[in-house]
A and B are shown apart, each in its own frame.
Chain A
Amino acid sequence: MSSSNPKATRRRSGILTSETINMSHGGGGKAMRDLIEDVILKSFDNQELLMMEDQARVDLSALTKLGDRLAITTDSYVVDPIFFAGGDIGKLAVCGTVNDLAVGGAIALYLTCSFIIEEGLPVADLRRITASMKLAADAAGVKIITGDTKVVDRGAADKIFINTTGIGIIPKHINVGAQLAAPGDLVLINGYIGDHGAAIVGARGDLAIENDIESDCQPLNGIVESLLAACPQVHCMRDATRGGIATVLNEFAISSGCCIKIDEAAIPIRTEVRGMCEILGLDALYLANEGKVVIILPRDQASAALAAMRNHPAGLHSTIIGEVFSTPAETVILKTVFGGERIVDMLVGDQLPRIC
């Protein structure tokens, strides 16, 4: 949303008349200004953006009161399709980046937002996406304070790609890290796994599988804040997106040099998601989530943590799914419902491409 003349901006408000995005909307001229003013500024609506400077300006002293470390994260969103049950690429772009801040224990404050749009995208779709981003940002209590818009030729991108960068502050007493899991710790999750992956499969429709599963796409900063207030001694915390909980658990096991044992019977999975996995031969442990956080914390804090999590709308089905052991190091083991045990390794390729 880089500059134009601020005085002109105040005098007239640009109106976007065309029904689809074309190359001129990325050309830096009047058409682009109309797009930015009519769609983006109107949707995101905040003081920092309305300044229309080339950069957002943030007061440092306000930040330092919140903590002692700046947390910065960035992510690009290329999900296909751009609209799906339970969300869309815009909601995903806000929640995904907010969640990457939250799981580091940071208070999420600001987002940047960069659009790469393929010419021909209906303006109505863009409005729907920006409105959804605003809703998600409000729900998470963050502001989208600067951004950029590029339009590329048909075929050079697929409909719309979004990059968001998040900025947050980590409070002094919080210290969360993947290397901190210790033998005896318990493993918790805030609800059903695999909903996002299953919803995307349903929305693509190319597998001729119909389902009513909604993506779990949601900001996690609220539940993480409640959790950290109840149990500041959380050891590890990561949102289980691409690669599912299996990948996150492997990352913890490797970084901490420990063994994580999970109990298949304890892992919450919706019947619909299980059914879809059975039919398609997918493993829900590797299915993507967009609103699930895997937590490892000292055993004696588990009940306080569960109480805090279940008390939050994003954690009604929170539960304990496993335990940390010292050996065999760097290994995740699943106790199967059948009574056997097996290793849960990292995935080699993709179960499903372009999931977020």
Chain B
Amino acid sequence: MKYVDEFRDPALAQTLVREINELVEVIEFSKQRPIQLMEFCGGHTHTIFRYGIEQLLPKCIELVHGPGCPVCVLPMGRVDDCVSLAQRPEVILTTFGDAMRVPGSKMSLLQAKADGADVRMVYSPLDALRLAHENKNREVIFFALGFETTMPSTALTVLQAEADGLDNFSLFCNHITTVPIIESILNTSDMQLDGFVAPGHVSMVVGEKPFNFVAEKYRKPIVITGFEPLDILQSIWLLIKQIAEQRAEVENQYARVVASRGNRQALVAMERVFELREFFEWRGLGSIDNSGIKIKDEYARFDAERKFAVPNVKITDPKSCQCGDVLRGAIKPWQCKVFAGACTPETPMGALMVSSEGACAAYYNFGSLPELLALKLAREKQEALP
């Protein structure tokens, strides 16, 4: 298939793998400890597992799967708030499909729907707007989620709602922003990451500049990356080359989509509608300053949190979950105490098991074989003990 197969060419992959193997030879520290590269975005995690990219790489390169799955990092309290909105009889709650299964402390939206709440899956916030037009006697709320990738479309939807003079449409805004979370990971004491595969679609909106601090302040190489397997392999090659040459720069592998200045119009729309929240809670990572996004006062009438009495529930993560350690790269998903035991995609406890883009769910579903088998054997041994 045109424009797809070119980016999945196994022969090109072999060439890249060969060059990566040659490059790691000159990286001295890789003989003592693995080179850790973090892909931030859940979309990258998904591609890495789907195509088995890790198995193509030399053993001394470890991929750490970052927190860039917005569904996963949503705290349970926010899901509870969303469920309570959905349970109001006048409300039609609209959401992207993968948010339906995210467990709150009592139930998911899927369960709320089964119990009678009017929850509908949409593919675009504009679908929610259409529902608001069609159901003037109901309140349509869009469960807005995601990083800068989805923010522009939500912002434009609010602007459209204003232009249409709609008074029965609002957002439950849970947008989050990329830079503060990368910075908070870089600031953790046991951080060992050597480079970053930067999110392609976030960069398409914000451009290259917001990532400069990674190279300048923290001296880590970072490469903006597309979502096809060859994109990721090429970015790993670029990162390893920077490490081998002891450079730390922002490079743009995804130039076919990402303009260095980002998308002006998208940024303008976001600027008009949104502003930073002082604090926002992340599942598995705790509260991170200036990482959440809220609706500006001028658009308060489109803010479900202000329009309805949202309980604003706070629920702490289960103690046994080690999502934070996995997210920082301190442990691998399968080294978590509850992985594949108490925590599975059917009954996720931790954030990373929730969506197919979460690191743990990806391991569980597509897992790399030797590790999964080792885990299985270890578990069986444990069970056999008296």
Q: Which residues of A contact B (CB under 8 A)?
A: 206-208, 271, 274-275, 278, 328, 333, 336-343, 345, 348-349
Given A274-B4, A275-B1, A339-B13, 16 other A-B residues pairs in contact with their CB atoms under 8 A: A208-B123, A328-B373, A333-B369, A336-B51, A337-B51, A341-B55, A341-B369, A342-B50, A342-B51, A343-B366, A343-B369, A343-B372, A345-B364, A345-B366, A348-B346, A349-B101
Complex-state Cα separation, A339 to B13, whole angstroms = 8
Interface pair B10/A339, CB less than 8 Å apart:
yes
Complex-state Cα separation, A285 to B236, whole angstroms = 28
Interface pair B1/A274, CB less than 8 Å apart:
yes
Interface pair A340/B1, CB less than 8 Å apart:
no
Which B residues are in CB contact (< 8 Å) with A278?
1, 4
Complex-state Cα separation, A297 to B13, whole angstroms = 34
**Interface on chain B toward A: helix, strand, loop, or mixed SS?**
helix
Q: How many residues of B contact A (CB 8 A)?
A: 27
Complex-state Cα separation, A149 to B54, whole angstroms = 56
Interface pair B373/A342, CB less than 8 Å apart:
no
Which A residues are in CB contact (< 8 Å) with B373?
328
Complex-state Cα separation, A342 to B363, whole angstroms = 10
Q: 23 A-B Cβ contacts within 8 A?
A: A206-B123, A278-B1, A278-B4, A336-B51, A336-B52, A338-B8, A338-B13, A338-B52, A338-B53, A339-B10, A339-B14, A340-B51, A340-B53, A340-B54, A340-B55, A340-B56, A342-B49, A342-B51, A342-B367, A343-B366, A345-B366, A348-B345, A348-B346
**Mask of B347-386 contacts with A, CB within 8 angstroms, 1/0:** 0000000000000000011111100110000000000000
Which A residues are in CB contact (< 8 Å) with B68?
none
Closest 4 CB pairs of A and B: A340-B52, A338-B51, A342-B366, A348-B345
Is B75 an interface residue when CB atoms closer than 8 A count as contact?
no
Which A residues are in CB contact (< 8 Å) with B123?
206-208
Which A residues are in CB contact (< 8 Å) with B10?
337-339
**Interface on chain A toward B: helix, strand, loop, or mixed SS?**
loop
Question: Known contacts A275-B1, A338-B10; is A328 also within 8 Å of B51 by CB?
Answer: no
Q: Which residue of A lies closest to B362 (CB)?
A: A342
Complex-state Cα separation, A246 to B8, whole angstroms = 22
Complex-state Cα separation, A349 to B14, whole angstroms = 35
Tell me the smallest distance from the CB of A158 to a CB of chain B, in Å.
16
Interface pair B52/A342, CB less than 8 Å apart:
yes
Tell me the smallest distance from the CB of B290 to a CB of chain A, in Å.
31
Complex-state Cα separation, A343 to B364, whole angstroms = 9
Complex-state Cα separation, A274 to B1, whole angstroms = 8
Which B residues are in CB contact (< 8 Å) with A271?
1
Complex-state Cα separation, A231 to B10, whole angstroms = 36
The residue among A278, A333, A338, A340 with the most chain B CB atoms within 10 A of its own CB is A338
Which B residues are in CB contact (< 8 Å) with A206?
123
Q: Which residue of A lies closest to B5 (CB)?
A: A337
Is B77 an interface residue when CB atoms closer than 8 A count as contact?
no
Is B152 an interface residue when CB atoms closer than 8 A count as contact?
no
Complex-state Cα separation, A337 to B364, whole angstroms = 21
The residue among A206, A333, A349 with the most chain B CB atoms within 10 A of its own CB is A349
Question: Known contacts A342-B52, A343-B372; is A337 also within 8 Å of B367 by CB?
Answer: no
Is B229 an interface residue when CB atoms closer than 8 A count as contact?
yes
Q: Which residue of A lies closest to B363 (CB)?
A: A343
Tell me the smallest distance from the CB of A197 to a CB of chain B, in Å.
15
